[in-house]
Structure formats: structure tokens, C-alpha cells
Amino acid sequence: MSLMNSWVASANAANHPFPLNNLPYGVFSTDDGEPRCGVAIGDMILDITTAEAKGLIVLTDEPLFDLPFWNPLMEQGPAVWAALRARLNSLLADGSEERGQVEPLLVAQSDAEMHLPFAVSEYTDFYAGRHHAQNVGTMFRGPENALPPNWLHIPIGYNGRASSVVVSGTDIRRPWGQLKSPDHDRPAFLPSRRFDIELEMGAIVGTPSEGPISVQEADDNIFGYVLLNDWSARDIQAWEYQPLGPFQAKATATSISPWIVTKAALEPFRCDTPAREHELLDHLKDCGPMLYDIDLSVTMAPAGKPGTTIARTNYNQMYYSAAQQLAHHTTSGCPMNTGDLLGSGTISGPTKPERGSLLELSWAGKEPLTLDTGETRSFIEDGDTLTLTGSAIGDGYTIGFGDCTGTLLSALDDPYKR
């Protein structure tokens, strides 16, 4: 597929993240209105809520875009998703006969504030990147025992907090927690000293399910993808994770990019998962290319200073696809709901510059990074801004997600001191 031309001129640049080929979904507001649904096209946003109200978009008997989130569309399923995409193409394509009606509904992205694009029902985070799991396991158990016995057979995950999922641009507060001190018998309650990021992709469930579903059915049920930063307090995690895994270390915040890139926009970039060391059981076997070729990067910028790109990798490094993660999630009969968010797990590649967390990049603090400013980092310091980016490069066009950014604020004074 090559670039699809739009009458919105800015959408036709080869390196612009929002061409007609993309059409990602978000929620925005301006000074003169409440949050409403919108579609990115070039440097503009098409006000979908108003377009529906004016009769330019009619998909069902009841309105789908009168609320400030995309869940009502998501639960309609693939046929309605495809109908909306086709209608948007007809409205925004070069030569559209309805340009005169659509053009007044465009809002400059520079004038808009972005909000969470969907209501998050529940959030599950996985540990499904082979290189990340190998690196972390090697740090703490040695290379011979890096992967637990089950890792090559199932996508390991844990249930996180939907309540702390935030949109890009939201500041993150350094958390307090219980830390183990190597010099004392008792732990201490202190601000986290090893606060970190995890470079991930998030898959969004559109069609709900009851009972177990296949990998193909799971893929069909996925509505789209966002960039995801699973902020992590490594020192809190080290003390709390046995025997039941992460808890408060992962509850501070999870940032997502503001635009949902639909599965349809990513179809040209499908690719296979890596070769298997052990054959998966039948209910988890690959049924076609289930990953995507998406370039990813992480930039760190100290307060008031330019940023340094500290990692570059690709979503194709995942060992398990989002469809396999979703299918595995349902094996117990667990219902999945519209708006469920699945974090991929940290995406790292085989070399040091491809590592998707500071824990790996600094090798647990033993090998601090040197930024372009000359400063060093083992973990995030107050005032640092972390930005995740992602793009799939096509024939003369780019599919982007919008940045996933957060700035770390200093910890509160003792939160229990009244």
C-alpha cells in the first residue's frame, strides 16, 4: 500500500504521523467546548461528535459519539469499525465532494488538549518480551536461570490498576513505598529511589468475550493499539514481589499515547513472532503474522534541557503477540470487556541500545547512562521528562501514535504526616 492522498495538505507528507492511511481516534477539547471524539488527519482533528450530530456520519440508529470516549464504537465490532473507516476515507480523500461540509469541522491539533481516548475497563500487564525477561532474570538469578520454567510456554502477566492509566502529558509523582535497606533488618517507608519506565505497546479490546477464545478470535476482538509506559518503582518492586508479583511498584501510573491506532491501519505492517524454542500448546499457537513492524524509541530530557534518545527497538521483538496474550487471558473463562487494556510487557532487543527500561540500560545501576548534556542517569531523577515514540514506515507514508510523555515530579512530603 502507498500513500493515500487527502485534501488536508499536511496529511500528505511522507514523514507525517497522521496521513489518510492512519486515521487514529482520540478525545480532545478546546477552550470553547467539552471533550469530544476526534480523528487525526495531518495537523488537524476532525470533530467526529459534531460530524455525527450534523448527519455526516451515521453508523447505527443510536449516536455513537455523544460521549467523550470511543467505547460505544468499540463494542459494535469489526463491521461497524470498517464502516466508519470507509466513511472517513470518503470524507477526507482528495477530491471528496463533501469537503465543504467537513472543512468547518476541522480543529488545529495545536489548539487542542488531549484526553484519555477510551474508558479503561481493566488493565493487565504482561512480561512477554524475551530479551527483557532474559536481561532481568540474568541480573537477579544468573543467565542459566534467567527465564522461569513456564516463560517459554505461556505469556506471564498480572492485573494492574485501570484507575491509574493516564493520557500522555500527565505529570507523574514519585511514589512512596516500603523499601528494604541492606544495612538494616527492618524496611523503611521512603520515596522510591529507583523509579523507571517500561517501553510497551498497549492493545485495546473492542469486542467483549465470554469464556475461552482462540488466538484468531482474540485478534479479531482487538480494536487498536497505543504506546504504553508502565512506570515502575524498582526498589519497591524488589521488596514486595515475592510471592505474588508486582503490586504497589506498578500502581503509580501507566501512561498511554493520546491516539488509538486501529488494527486496520496497521495491517500492512504485520509480521511473525520469533522462532519458538518449544512448540506452544494448540490454544496458543500462531495462526498467521500477529506482530507488527513498529519502530520504537525512548527519549530522556532533564528539566529545561534537550533530550537524549536512550533506546531504539521494534515491536517485532515480542515473543508473544497481543492476540496470544488475550487468548491466554480467557482460558480460565475470564470474561473480557470492551475497553480492557493489555500491556505488552517491556520491549527490548538483543543489544544494549535496544533495551526498553533503565533497569536494563544501566544494568540495575551498575552502568549509568551518559546523556548528551553530560549528565548521568541510572534511574529517573525529579524533573526528567520521558517520551516514547512509535512509527510504522510504509511506502511514502508513516503511521504514528503521537508521543507518550510524562515528567517526574518530586515526591510529596511525608504523605502520612498530618
**Cα–Cα distance, 349 to 35 (Å, whole number):** 38
- Where in 217-315 does DSSP place strands (E)? 222-230, 232-233, 254-256, 261-262, 270-271, 291-292, 295-301, 308-314
- Catalytically active residues, by annotation: 132
**Cα–Cα distance, 230 to 253 (Å, whole number):** 7
Task: Measure Cα distances from 99 to 20, 52, 95, 401, 416 in Å.
Answer: 14, 15, 8, 25, 58
In order, the DSSP letters of 165-222 are: EEETT--EEPPEEEE--TT-SS-EEEE-SSEE--EEEEEEE-S-B-S---HHHHHHHE
3-class SS of residue 114: strand
**Cα–Cα distance, 80 to 395 (Å, whole number):** 27
**Which residues, 6+ apart, have CB-to-CB distance to 168 below 8 Å?**
114, 227, 255, 256, 257, 258, 402, 403, 404, 405, 406
Q: Of all helices (H) and strands (E), which one includes residue 126?
A: strand 123-126
**Cα–Cα distance, 345 to 127 (Å, whole number):** 4
